[in-house]
Structure 1
Amino acid sequence: MKRPRLILDFDGTLTDCRRRQVVVARVIGRAFGIDIDPDRFWGMKRTGYSTLRIFSAFGIPDGDAKSMSDLWVLQIEGLPWLAYDRLWDGIRDDLLMVKLRGWEIVLLSARRSVCRLRWQLETLGLSGLLDRTIVVDPGQAVAKKAEALKKWIPNVYIGDSEADLMAAKMAGVQFIGVVCGQRSREFLARLVEDESQVLKENTRAAIFEALCMAG
């Protein structure tokens, strides 16, 4: 009998990445002589603003905003910053429960550095719970995630962004979005079109919903 398969996004879905993203933005802001308010930065990020648009919204001239945004992208996967990420409460236990029920667990992440992601998975104690890790180019996140979803055909895909939702739609797979991560409920709700796209408050609730959907 074919094992049921759960595919999950990483940043914002399994981890709380707020502190990392905010700290990197503030450090870059200080280098340019600008104080980046952390709550405002994260609030705009959760409503769908790109990092470039957020910096511009702080009144930073276009040239500097573009330089800051490019620097943010270069720094955001640096090892010192990745150490700020924390697993959402109960994630390891939840994934272990899924595995004990006979499910295959696959991680699908848009990252530039495969090595640094693997380091992070090992540091957070997730490596032994994953059957497979798939890493795609962040610059083509939607298309490449959709391609992976079509290949591996999960029972459910869990993610936290519009890229995850759109990839699931393109692949024709069931999607559960979590609204505790990089996008808010209000933002994601505007993109939901039918019953194949469900929103949950957190990843723990999403995992339980996935198990229920599979019976």
Structure 2
Amino acid sequence: MTRAVAQDRYIAQDVGLIADFDGPIADVSERYYRVYHECLDRMQDEDTPIQRLSKSEFWGLKRARVPEQEIGKRSGLNPEQARKFAKLRRQLVHSQPYLKYDQLIPGAIAALDRAQEAGIELTLMTMRRERELAEALSRFDVGRFFPDERRYCMGDDDVKTADTRDKPRLMARAMTELPQYERLWMVGDTEADAIAANSQGIQFIGVLSGIRDRPSLQAHHPYKIVNTLSDAVDVLLDTLSVNG
């Protein structure tokens, strides 16, 4: 049976999909790379021979969870400069001037369409703040998939601690507000997504289109690791057609 036929014959009931935004839907690599350059520019002086990493080199280090200070050192900064570089990066990377560099992951909208057409209820869960999320949903035209009551994010004035603590708290709240699904899945690209899903006994599918590489995701024992959200939806629809 082909996937298309299987999908036509199976309409999901009582099935939900919680999707992270950055990684599965939005490509943040250009934003991170622009901030990397900006931080190096501010750290550079006459005695600092900067050795800028290519985007692929930089993103490979980020995906492998190499610390910011180490990335700074590999770019030619001394230890003190690298410390300041890491601090500045944290201040800038999620700031408004750089969010415009985010791009839509190819195939993400089509994947959400396929899931929705199959009757899977969609929920969004992200560490973005409300204003940041609203702008991105409008710019990428994906807000139509996620009604306001299906959007879980940080409030504009919330104090962030760490994603691995904040996201499980969002997930715990969601579990008190979402319907009771027969099957519920989480698709994300980081350890925070995996920890949040595991904390509530939800099946987690990791995607490699985001900020973590395969070993980083594998450490959290996902149901499966795939390349994109589109592949994750394929896995979900195949699973439902077999078990439905």
| Distance (whole Å) between structure 1 residues aligned to residue 69 and residue 235 of structure 2 | 35
Task: Name which of 196, 200, 215 aligns with 1:171.
Answer: 200
Q: 1:58 corresponds to which residue?
A: 75
**Is 1:21 aligned to 2:28, yes or no?**
no
CA-to-aligned-CA distance 1:80-136 (integer Å, 9 cap, x gap): 32121111112112212222222221111113x320221111111111111321114
Of structures 1 and 2, the larger Rg is shown by 2
Judging changes above 3 Å, is the alpha-carbon distance between structure 1 residues 79 and 143 closer, same or farther for their aligned structure 2 residues? Answer: closer
Q: 1:145 corresponds to which residue?
A: 167
Tell me: higher relative CO, structure 1 or 2? Use CA pairs within 8 A at least 6 residues apart: 2
When normalised by structure 1's length, the TM-score is: 0.86
CA-to-aligned-CA distance 1:20-42 (integer Å, 9 cap, x gap): 10111112111212343133221
Task: Name which of 101, 107, 122 aligns with 1:90.
Answer: 107
The CA deviation at 1:176 is 0.0
Instruction: Work out whether residues 149 and 173 of structure 1, in 8 Å CA contact, stay in contact via their aligned partners in 2.
Output: no
When normalised by structure 2's length, the TM-score is: 0.77
| Distance (whole Å) between structure 1 residues aligned to residue 72 and residue 197 of structure 2 | 30
**Is 1:108 aligned to 2:130, yes or no?**
no
Residue type matched to 2:43 in 1?
F
Judging changes above 3 Å, is the alpha-carbon distance between structure 1 residues 71 and 106 closer, same or farther for their aligned structure 2 residues? Answer: same
Instruction: Work out whether residues 32 and 93 of structure 2, in 8 Å CA contact, stay in contact via their aligned partners in 1.
Output: yes
Instruction: Work out whether residues 56 and 62 of structure 1, in 8 Å CA contact, stay in contact via their aligned partners in 2.
Output: yes
CA-to-aligned-CA distance 1:61-84 (integer Å, 9 cap, x gap): 333223222222222223332121
Residue type matched to 2:225 in 1?
L
Aligned-residue CA RMSD (Å) = 2.3
Judging changes above 3 Å, is the alpha-carbon distance between structure 1 residues 114 and 73 closer, same or farther for their aligned structure 2 residues? Answer: farther
The CA deviation at 1:12 is 1.5
Listed as ranges, the gaps of 5+ residues in structure 2 are 1-11, 45-49, 176-180
Matches for 1:1-215 after TM superposition, within 5 Å: 3-33=14-44, 34-37=50-53, 38-111=55-128, 113-131=129-147, 132-136=150-154, 139-153=161-175, 155-189=184-218, 191-193=219-221, 197-214=223-240, 215=244
Size of the aligned set, in residue pairs, is: 211
Q: Percent identity?
A: 26
